Amino acid sequence: MAFLFMSDQPPSSLARASAPALVASLSVVFPAFNEEYNIQTTIENARRVLPKIAREWEIIVVNDGSADETNRLCDELAARFPEVRALHHLVNRGYGAALKTGISAARHGLVFFSDSDGQFDLHELQELVAWSEQFDIVAGYRGKRSDPWHRSLNAWGWNVLVRALLGLRVRDIDCAFKLFRRAVFERIQIRSVGAMVNTEILAQAVHFGMKIREVEVSHYPRAHGKPTGAKLRVILKAFRELFRLWWKLRKIDHDQQGLFSRGATAKA
């Protein structure tokens, strides 16, 4: 099980990343659950940033059964802006299910996802894109988390457990700031419906020998609303899925079909 993993502190032998002025095409996925106070700002920020990064781009926002005005706002944004597509789950199915819906709908050669709560600076996506020709996955990690202490403690404990059980040496597994080549999802499946989805994706990538790079990104306090990831039921569900994943990785098929058909034509 060989793979190449690099942090953002490159050894002297590693060439400095150099990105073209604009990449050819990029899909951006935003899962959204009860984000009525954040979703419009997030989409508008993305629309300002993406023309500086890609010649062709799209924004896919997945409303995961929100009980507030997120549903209406997503549809309004999609009606106003042709680059924005709104997809909806009729009921709340979970973060992993929302990511799967969004990634499966992506049309372009690079696929990026982040949260809809405005805690990341989308200008820093350029730092990830700069490494996209050399690595299959470029994963952000939060240099300083702007979360309550109990969420940071939960994240630390989760990383320790995942390292011990899966051997996944990633600093910030659940950081919602990740960029993928489209071909990654010709092999990787998403079966987790909840918070385990980041671990599932990265564990499969390591198993398949994909090249991963980590880049430090900024993290800001949430301006509106409350996060749901620290709820007990979400944590317990993640633990159940973790042990299922550990078992499945022992029997993983190296020829498994991913979310996309292999060799399918995609804009690069």
Domain boundaries, the chain: 22-249
pTM value is 0.84
124 has pLDDT over 90: yes
- Percent over 70 (pLDDT), the chain: 78
Task: Give long-range contacts, CB 8 A cutoff, 24+ apart: 80-85.
Answer: 81/43, 81/47, 83/47, 83/50, 83/57, 83/58, 83/59, 84/43, 84/47, 84/58, 84/59, 85/58, 85/59, 85/60, 85/61
236 has pLDDT over 90: no
Q: Which of 71-85, 181-195, 224-238, 248-262 has the highest mean pLDDT?
A: 71-85
The CA distance from 60 to 65, in Å, is 15
224 has pLDDT over 80: no
pLDDT at residue 185 in the model: 97
The full 3-state SS of 59-128, as one line of letters, equals EEEEEECCCCCHHHHHHHHHHHCCCEEEEEECCCCCHHHHHHHHHHCCCECEEEEECCCCCCCHHHHHHH
Mean pLDDT of 18-23: 71
pLDDT at residue 266 in the model: 47
Phi (first) and psi of residue 178, to 5 degrees: -130, 145
Torsional sign, CA 133, 136, 140, 141: negative
pLDDT at residue 225 in the model: 59
Two tokens, residue 62? 């997945």
CATH superfamily of the domain spanning 22-249: Spore Coat Polysaccharide Biosynthesis Protein SpsA; Chain A (3.90.550.10)
Phi (first) and psi of residue 27, to 5 degrees: -105, 135
Total Cβ atoms within 10 A of residue 78: 18
Torsional sign, CA 121, 122, 127, 133: positive
Mean pLDDT of 226-245: 67
Phi (first) and psi of residue 247, to 5 degrees: -70, -40
* 188 pLDDT tier (thresholds 50, 70, 90): very high
* 20 pLDDT tier (thresholds 50, 70, 90): low
**Weakest-pLDDT range from 89-93, 111-115, 173-177, 220-224:** 220-224
